[in-house]
């Protein structure tokens, strides 16, 4: 294990002090971070979504802000606004909550579509434009949004354009009995998040992001990624398949997973590992398929298993 992998492992182990028994979820979060992507976490309340993001920011000593989305939050609350200064006779920019390195967009589907749309430029271009002036965001920059399942009352489902901006989506899930017992013991005296210490420098993430881009991807692997995505576009149970942005995200995620595993080249298993968290939220299932309990994850698994041949890299 080289220095970069040790660095990432140190972060994961530190977050595990707060998030018990969910190493796979923490790993996916780290992969999104080193690939300069954003994450959507959809799950029921109380399973640790907010704690995961807070623990990550503390571990990196990165600037961190939590935006609690409600129906009355305005786009200017997110991006910032200009205010007239009577003393200087000029307009001054007042930064919004998005001006930080790690952003927790909590319950993003409880705010209005107009406010949700204010995140589009931020997530795609890592910048904010207010009154015609563009302001860059600090690096590394990552949005981790949480949402309750869309069947809950008082929610506004995210539009496809915004869902596509998220690098990956996953759920944390309930802990096992053993894991929940450990959680109770950990929280017996105080919240372990309050005692969590910084174990890494966020500047190292910038260098790792550069290294991840250098991971070699064979042309056969590239074709494999494209074939998987193309199959989603003609699947009979789907209204809409994954976009070219989905292909690019799967490409980057495979590089990130290969790097995390200590390799400087991608293998088919890296693509398979990342396919569901990267592609599932980009698919729109037909209503009649939903009635048959068809899920995006099952469609992707079927495509990988039955529709696309795994390349043999010599």
Q: What are the structural domain ranges in the chain?
A: 3-71+97-205, 214-307
Higher pLDDT, 152 or 66: 66
pLDDT at 86: 80
pLDDT at 79: 86
* Helix, strand and coil in the chain, % to nearest 5: 50, 15, 35
Please determine, for residue 65, whether its predicted confidence score (pLDDT) is greater than 80: yes
Phi, psi dihedrals of residue 32, rounded to the nearest 5°:
-60, -40
For the ranges 95-104, 111-120, 216-225, 249-258, the lowest mean pLDDT is seen at 111-120
Please determine, for residue 233, whether its predicted confidence score (pLDDT) is greater than 90: yes
Please determine, for residue 77, whether its predicted confidence score (pLDDT) is greater than 90: no
Span 103-128, average pLDDT: 85
Calculated CA dihedral for residues 277, 283, 286, 289, nearest 10 degrees: -20
Phi, psi dihedrals of residue 170, rounded to the nearest 5°:
-155, 170
Please determine, for residue 151, whether its predicted confidence score (pLDDT) is greater than 70: no
Please determine, for residue 154, whether its predicted confidence score (pLDDT) is greater than 80: no
Split at pLDDT 50, 70, 90, the class of 152 is low
- Whether 3-71+97-205 shares its CATH topology with 214-307 is answered no
Span 96-119, average pLDDT: 87
95-107 pLDDT, tens digit per residue, is 888 888 999 998 8
Superfamily of domain 214-307: Magnesium chelatase subunit I, C-Terminal domain (1.10.8.80)
Q: How many CB atoms lie within 10 A of CB 269?
A: 13
Please determine, for residue 188, whether its predicted confidence score (pLDDT) is greater than 90: no
Distance separating alpha carbons of residues 261 and 213, to the nearest angstrom: 15
Distance separating alpha carbons of residues 205 and 210, to the nearest angstrom: 9
Span 134-145, average pLDDT: 89
Split at pLDDT 50, 70, 90, the class of 75 is confident
Distance separating alpha carbons of residues 205 and 226, to the nearest angstrom: 28
Rounded mean pLDDT of the chain? 89
pLDDT at 219: 95
Please determine, for residue 14, whether its predicted confidence score (pLDDT) is greater than 70: yes
| Residue 227, token pair as written in the block | 């074939």
pLDDT at 248: 96
CATH label, 3-71+97-205, candidates 3.10.20.30, 3.40.1160.10, 3.40.50.300, 3.40.50.1100 = 3.40.50.300
Please determine, for residue 136, whether its predicted confidence score (pLDDT) is greater than 90: no
């Amino acid at each position: 294990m080289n220095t970069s992998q040790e660095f990432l492992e140190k972060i994961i182990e530190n977050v595990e002090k707060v998030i018990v028994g969910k190493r796979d979820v923490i790993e996916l979060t780290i992969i999104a971070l080193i690939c300069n992507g954003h994450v959507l976490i959809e799950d029921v309340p109380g399973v640790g979504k907010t704690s995961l993001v807070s623990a990550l920011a503390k571990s990196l000593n990165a600037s961190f802000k939590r935006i609690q989305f409600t129906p009355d939050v305005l786009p200017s609350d997110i991006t910032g606004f200009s205010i007239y200064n009577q003393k200087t006779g000029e307009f001054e920019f007042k930064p919004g909550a998005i001006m930080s390195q790690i952003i927790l967009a909590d319950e993003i589907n409880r705010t209005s579509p107009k406010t949700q749309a204010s995140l589009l430029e931020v997530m795609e271009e890592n910048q904010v434009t207010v009154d015609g002036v563009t302001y860059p965001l600090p690096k590394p920059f990552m949005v981790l949004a949480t949402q309750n399942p869309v069947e809950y009352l008082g929610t506004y489902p995210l539009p496809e354009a915004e869902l596509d901006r998220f690098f990956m989506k996953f759920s944390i899930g309930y802990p096992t009995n053993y894991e929940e017992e450990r959680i109770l013991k950990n929280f017996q005296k105080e919240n372990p998040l309050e005692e969590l210490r910084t174990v890494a420098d966020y500047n190292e993430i910038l260098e790792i992001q550069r290294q991840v881009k250098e991971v070699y991807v064979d042309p056969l692997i590239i074709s494999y990624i494209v074939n998987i995505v193309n199959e989603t576009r003609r699947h009979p149970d789907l209204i809409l398949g994954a976009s070219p942005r989905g292909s690019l995200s799967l490409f980057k995620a495979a590089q990130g997973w290969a790097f995390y595993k200590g390799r400087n080249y991608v293998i088919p298993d890296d693509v398979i590992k990342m396919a569901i968290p990267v592609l599932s939220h980009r698919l729109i299932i037909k209503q009649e398929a939903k009635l048959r309990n068809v899920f995006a994850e099952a469609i992707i698994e079927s495509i990988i298993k039955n529709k696309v041949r795994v390349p043999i890299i010599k």
